[in-house]
Amino acid sequence: MLGLSKQKENDHRICFQVTQNSVRLLIVKGSGKAPELIVNDHEQVQQGSLAKYAETLLQKYSRLSLKHANVTLVLGTDLYESVQVDRPALEPAEISGSLKYTLSDLVSFSTEEIIADYYEFPEQPSGQDKLIAVAANKNFLMPWVELFNEHDLSLTDIAITELALPRLAETQSHAELTLYQNPAGNYIAQINTPKGLMFTRLLRGVTEVSKYTESEIEAGALEPLATELQRSADYFESHLRQAPISRLILAVEHITPEALAKSLAELLAVECTRYQYPPWSADLREGDYSDLAALGALVEGDL
């Protein structure tokens, strides 16, 4: 999304998924919707440069022929800021370049630090012409560019979590709400429809669901989470004038996921199921959903 474009020269493709406290490396062979996943590894970052941890991971798999492989860097939600703004009265090709000035008073980065891009939803409230502006810190990104150059890797895209996740969503005939456990330390609610991603929201301040026991869940511990999910669904239905969501999908880790699904199904009066990893990731998947953004970024197509 925030990125560059080079031709592919190696059958391996690489993705680094990063947050302020973690670096994940995924490597696949092949292309299309179901590549061959051969590496899924990560480092927890205690202190120091994230790029240094990434270099450690690259050295760990130096036996692989990675020279000139394409790389996607996926930023965690704690490494970029997204803001809804009015569409500038400019040609589409000129919008990204203008956003750093629009965003200078709306994000925490200075104008000189901002690298910006944007995306938009297929539907928005009547009478509005908005887009979602995304800002990242250029000073954070430069060490990554240098790292990839040093290792003869081709950086093809700098992507964001909120757009990488829905690339794994199955095409459906009705709107579905997915709750993702976010490696950056909170939860993400997204609504996908046959038209694509229609809504995304960070749920800040929601207690970590995995800490609740089954008895606490039965006693109503998930009511605050259900309230936030209901608010998301209400906005989707009333402001965007869409039909109600047909299903809630949980990409959330818990020791008794059945209790989690049962409680939220009752609180929201909607079918609730567990998220299913794509089959091509089955052997090396993390299992706690922390690798979904990286997996999504490796599915072929524009981010």
Residue 33 has a pLDDT of 82
DSSP letters along the chain, please? ----------SEEEEEEEETTEEEEEEEES-SSS-EEEEEEEEE--SS-HHHHHHHHHHHTTTS--TT-EEEEEEPTTSEEEEEEEPPSS-HHHHHHHHHHHHTTTSSS-TTTEEEEEE--S---TT--EEEEEEEEHHHHHHHHHHHHHTT-EEEEEEEHHHHGGGGSPP-SS-EEEEEE-TTSSEEEEEEETTEEEEEEEETTPPPGGG--HHHHHTTTTHHHHHHHHHHHHHHHHTS--PPP-EEEEE---SSHHHHHHHHHHHHTSEEEE----GGGTTT--SSSTTHHHHHHTSSS--
CA–CA dist 184, 171 (Å, integer): 27
Work out the angle at residue 129's Cα, subtended by the Cα atoms of residues 169 and 303, and round it to the nearest 5 degrees.
30
Least reliable range by pLDDT among 5-9, 54-58, 176-180, 237-241: 5-9
> In this model, does residue 303 exceed pLDDT 60?
no
**Mean pLDDT calculated for residue range 60-82:** 95
DSSP letters along 102-121, please? HHTTTSSS-TTTEEEEEE--
pLDDT single digits (tens) 149-177:
999 999 999 999 999 999 998 777 899 99
8 Å CB contact between 270 and 246 = yes
Residue 207 has a pLDDT of 87
pLDDT single digits (tens) 194-232:
999 999 999 988 889 988 999 999 999 999 999 999 999
Instruction: List the one residue out of 127, 130, 105 whose CA is nearest residue 119.
Output: 130
**Mean pLDDT calculated for residue range 49-73:** 95
pLDDT single digits (tens) 84-125:
999 999 998 899 999 999 999 999 999 999 999 999 999 888
pLDDT single digits (tens) 27-50:
999 877 889 999 999 999 987 789
Which residues are registered as beta bridge partners of 75? 18, 160
Length of the chain as a residue count: 303
Query: In sequence order, which residues have a C-beta less than 8 Å from that of residue 16 and are 6 or more positions away?
Result: 23, 24, 25, 54, 71, 72, 73, 74, 144, 294
pLDDT band for position 5 (cuts 50, 70, 90): very low
- The β-bridge relationship of strands 70-75 and 12-19 is parallel
Kindly report the average pLDDT of the chain as a whole number: 92
pLDDT single digits (tens) 258-300:
999 999 999 999 999 999 999 999 899 999 999 999 999 999 7
- The β-bridge relationship of strands 80-86 and 130-137 is antiparallel
pLDDT band for position 6 (cuts 50, 70, 90): very low
8 Å CB contact between 200 and 189 = yes
Least reliable range by pLDDT among 8-17, 39-48, 111-120, 237-246: 8-17
Residue 288 has a pLDDT of 93
**Mean pLDDT calculated for residue range 127-140:** 94
pLDDT single digits (tens) 116-126:
999 999 988 88
Max alpha carbon distance in the chain (Å)?
56
pLDDT band for position 17 (cuts 50, 70, 90): very high
Locate tokens 């059945």: which residue? 258
